[in-house]
């Protein structure tokens, strides 16, 4: 144990006392929020030029156009970019000829598109089908105008109809419960939908990035030890399993350091903002996160170490890492669905899949307090068993691989079976 500890301390110091680690610590949250930050930074780079649209109106009465035009002008006054401008084109010429003229204007960039209202048909023409903002905006407003017109035609006065048709906003409410002190039925605080998505997403991404930040340098270290023949010196002093255990211990310490840094950082930031996460980042959630994080570090760490021991350089490692990366990425690809439906079959069965269990279970627990205890304990046991299996198998690969040359999947499997 003393030797493994000495190796763990060396690995920890080698990883933590580097500029790369400090940069990683800073970059980790940046990567986590990269989408939001990028969007914020590049907002002004999107196409904000004024856009002109034509309204090809087959009706004599311009009321629909006027209604839409008023809505567009109001939107422009609100400062929404890009600004839109409408021109009405009465259908005086044959429809096809008008369509051709307007289409040419679209092709030449004079118009961003044109919308055609003909009886019960609303048709939108454009050569930028990915930009749907105007299409959807215009569609909603035209339908409102047509509905008002139809009701007016049926003899309902507009002044009376509008209040009847007005929509009501949906508010979020908390679940009711009995207050233990007063015995009265009270409502809990309404859930914060942003936090409900953000917290599980952030926890899973943090788990993923902590594993990667620890595992990749560890694997590179093993390759370096093999290349530089340091492994030979080490193996003359410690058993291969002691060596690997030391490395995993060091990696665990690195991940705990990262958790401490981000945990304290999170508390510090939370104390300075009004964004209340206390309902989502509970001691229970953090306890499960801590457990699954440690297991994930050991499980994936042992895989990365085994790959490192089976390669002579990083180029070879990239080929062997493919299945490991697929396994580690699998829960990320399922994350959106799991957060949205934490009690659904995909989330439940996904959390029972060994290598996906740590991330998907924490995503479920952080998304919904309704996840039953057995659906937390079973994935934890599955992960624990898988971790033991992987550490054992990696130990056998490590023992032979460190003194061998390049290995294939077949030879790695052979080392696991035969030792």
Partner 1 sequence: MSHAIQLSNVTKTFGAHIAVDDLSLCVPTGSVYGFIGPNGSGKTTTLRMITRILPPDSGRVCVLGEDHHGPANDRVAYLPEERGLYKQMKVRELLRFYARLKSHTPAPGEIDGWLERMELSGHGEKKIEQLSKGMSQKVQFIATVISRPELVLLDEPFSGLDPINATVLRDIVLDLKKQGATVIFSTHDMSIAEKMCDFIFMVFRGRKMLDGTLESIQRDYGADTVRVEFGQPVMLNDLPGVLSVTDFGKYQELRVERDCDSQKLLAALMQRGVVGHFEIAHPTLQDIFVRIANGNQTAGFLKNDLATDGARIGTDGEKT
For 375, what's the count of Cα atoms within 13 Å in the CB-facing half-sphere?
A: 20
230 touching partner 1, by CB under 8 A: yes
Site for partner 1 in 207-226 (CB under 8 A): 225
231 touching partner 1, by CB under 8 A: yes
Q: Which of 248, 219, 226 is nearest to 401 (CA)?
A: 226
- Choosing from 47, 232, 276, 313, the residue that interacts with partner 1 (CB under 8 A) is 232
Q: Where does this chain touch partner 1 (CB under 8 A) — which range of 54-62, 167-175, 237-245, 382-390? A: 237-245
Q: Where does this chain touch partner 1 (CB under 8 A) — which range of 108-116, 145-153, 209-217, 231-239? A: 231-239
If one counts every other C-beta atom within 10 angstroms of the C-beta of residue 15, the result is 21
Hey, what are 139's tokens? 């569609």
Shortest Å, Cβ 7 to partner 1:
8
- Choosing from 32, 33, 197, 238, the residue that interacts with partner 1 (CB under 8 A) is 238
H-helix or E-strand spanning residue 219: helix 193-227
**E strands of 91-211, at which residues?**
113-118, 121-125, 176-178, 185-187
Site size for partner 1 (CB under 8 A): 20
Q: Where does this chain touch partner 1 (CB under 8 A) — which range of 5-13, 104-112, 290-298, 367-375? A: 5-13
Q: What is the DSSP letter of 189?
A: P
Q: Determine if residue 183 is left, alpha or beta; phi over 0 gives left, psi from -120 to 50 gives alpha, anything else beta.
A: left
Looking only at Cα atoms, what is the longest distance across the chain?
97
Distance CA 17, CA 220 (A): 16
- Choosing from 34, 118, 128, 228, the residue that interacts with partner 1 (CB under 8 A) is 228
Q: Where does this chain touch partner 1 (CB under 8 A) — which range of 1-9, 101-109, 276-284, 340-348? A: 1-9
Site for partner 1 in 353-412 (CB under 8 A): 403
CB within 8 Å of 346: residues ≥ 6 apart: 334, 337, 338
C-alpha 187, offset from chain centre: 31
Shortest Å, Cβ 18 to partner 1:
8
* CB nearer to partner 1: pick between 13 and 66: 13
* CB nearer to partner 1: pick between 122 and 234: 234
CB within 8 Å of 175: residues ≥ 6 apart: 187, 188
Q: Which of 352, 389, 397, 386 is nearest to 371 (CA)?
A: 352
- Choosing from 7, 111, 321, 324, the residue that interacts with partner 1 (CB under 8 A) is 7
236 touching partner 1, by CB under 8 A: yes
* CB nearer to partner 1: pick between 145 and 231: 231
Residues that bind partner 1 (CB under 8 A): 2-3, 6-7, 10, 14, 225, 228-239, 403
């Amino acid at each position: 144990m003393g030797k493994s500890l000495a190796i763990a301390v060396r690995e920890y110091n080698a990883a933590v006392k580097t500029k790369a680690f400090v940069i990683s610590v800073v970059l980790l949250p940046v990567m986590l929020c990269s989408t939001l930050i990028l969007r914020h930074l590049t907002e002004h780079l999107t196409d904000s030029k004024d856009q002109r649209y034509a309204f090809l109106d087959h009706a004599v009465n311009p009321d629909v156009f006027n209604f839409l035009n008023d809505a567009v002008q109001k939107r422009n006054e609100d400062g929404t970019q890009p600004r839109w401008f409408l021109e009405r084109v009465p259908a005086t010429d044959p429809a096809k000829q008008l369509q051709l003229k307007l289409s040419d204007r679209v092709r030449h960039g004079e118009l961003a598109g044109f919308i055609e209202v003909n009886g019960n048909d609303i048709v939108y023409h454009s050569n930028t089908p990915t930009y749907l903002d105007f299409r959807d905006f215009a569609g909603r407003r035209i339908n409102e105008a047509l509905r008002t017109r139809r009701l007016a035609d049926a003899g309902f006065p507009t002044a009376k109809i509008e209040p009847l048709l007005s929509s009501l906003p949906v508010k979020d409410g908390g679940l009711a419960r009995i207050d233990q002190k007063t015995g009265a039925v009270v409502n809990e605080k309404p859930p914060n939908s942003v936090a409900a998505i953000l917290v599980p997403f952030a926890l899973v991404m943090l788990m993923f990035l902590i594993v990667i930040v620890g595992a990749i340098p560890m694997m590179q270290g093993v390759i370096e030890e093999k290349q530089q023949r340091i492994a030979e010196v080490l193996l003359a002093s410690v058993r291969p399993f002691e060596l690997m255990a030391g490395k995993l211990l060091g990696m665990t310490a690195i991940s705990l350091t990262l958790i401490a840094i981000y945990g304290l950082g999170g508390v510090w930031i939370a104390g300075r903002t009004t964004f209340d996460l206390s309902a989502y980042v509970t001691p229970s959630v953090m306890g499960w996160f801590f457990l699954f994080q440690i297991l994930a570090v050991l499980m994936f760490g042992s895989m990365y170490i085994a790959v490192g021991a089976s390669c002579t350089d990083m180029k070879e490692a990239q080929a062997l890492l493919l299945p490991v990366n697929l396994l580690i990425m699998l829960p990320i690809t399922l994350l959106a669905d799991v957060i949205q439906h934490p009690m659904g079959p995909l989330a439940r069965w996904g959390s029972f899949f060994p290598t996906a269990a740590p991330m998907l279970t924490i995503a479920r627990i952080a998304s919904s307090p309704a996840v039953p205890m057995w659906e937390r304990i079973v994935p934890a046991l599955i992960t624990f068993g898988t971790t033991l299996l992987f550490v054992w198998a990696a130990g056998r690969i490590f023992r032979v691989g460190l003194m061998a040359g390049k290995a294939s999947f077949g030879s790695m499997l052979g080392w696991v079976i035969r030792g």
